[in-house]
């Protein structure tokens, strides 16, 4: 005869309770999230198809050569504007640098003139000292009595 152990019955009921608890706690929320994502993706796909159809129908009405011409004209305009802006910016930067170098040049010239004047004044003193030393040595070598 078949014997049923009561622990087996408890195990079966606890497993069934666990499955129902997981269904409400885990599986249903996950299923809802998946459904929302699918709906969002489907809506986005549908909108993109509509937009693509609009663009396709608008482009079908226009001549492809005309589209290329207008694109080339727009590209030329954009590049000319960019070149103009770059030239203006270049002029501003160059003018700034030239002004800065000019002011530095003036400052350096003044500094060099000061140094030149100092060197000349020091050179006059040095020449006087050297000439006095030379005269004194010459007098000492010749044994000439010094005059006051």
SS3 state of residue 109? helix
For residue 148, pLDDT beyond 60: no
Mean pLDDT calculated for residue range 89-96: 93
How much is the pLDDT for 20? 92
Per-domain residue ranges of the chain:
7-63
Whole-model pTM: value is 0.36
Which residues are within 8 A (CB) of 59 and not within 5 positions of it... i.e. 6 or more apart?
67
Residue 41's pLDDT band, with cuts at 50, 70 and 90, is very high
The length of the chain in residues reads 148
Q: Rounded CA gap, 88 and 5, in Å?
A: 95
**Most confident by average pLDDT, 30-34, 106-110, 113-117, 144-148:** 30-34
HSE toward the beta carbon, residue 39, CA cutoff 13 A: 6
The 10s digit of each residue's pLDDT in 46-84 is: 999 988 888 776 666 667 777 788 889 999 999 999 999
Is 124 within 8 Å of 131 (Cβ atoms)?
Answer: no
């Amino acid at each position: 005869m078949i014997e049923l152990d009561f622990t087996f019955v408890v195990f079966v009921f606890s497993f069934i309770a666990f499955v129902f608890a997981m269904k409400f706690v885990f599986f249903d929320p996950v299923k809802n999230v998946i459904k929302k994502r699918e709906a969002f993706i489907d809506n986005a796909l549908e909108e993109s198809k509509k937009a693509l159809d609009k663009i396709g129908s608008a482009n079908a009405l226009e001549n492809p050569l005309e589209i290329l011409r207008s694109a080339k004209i727009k590209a030329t305009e954009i590049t000319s504007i960019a070149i103009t802006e770059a030239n203006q910016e270049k002029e501003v930067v160059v003018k700034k640098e030239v002004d800065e170098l000019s002011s530095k040049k003036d400052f350096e010239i003044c500094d060099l003139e000061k140094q030149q004047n100092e060197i000349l004044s020091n050179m006059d003193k040095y020449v006087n000292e050297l000439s006095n030393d030379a005269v004194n040595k010459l007098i000492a070598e010749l044994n000439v009595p010094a005059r006051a």
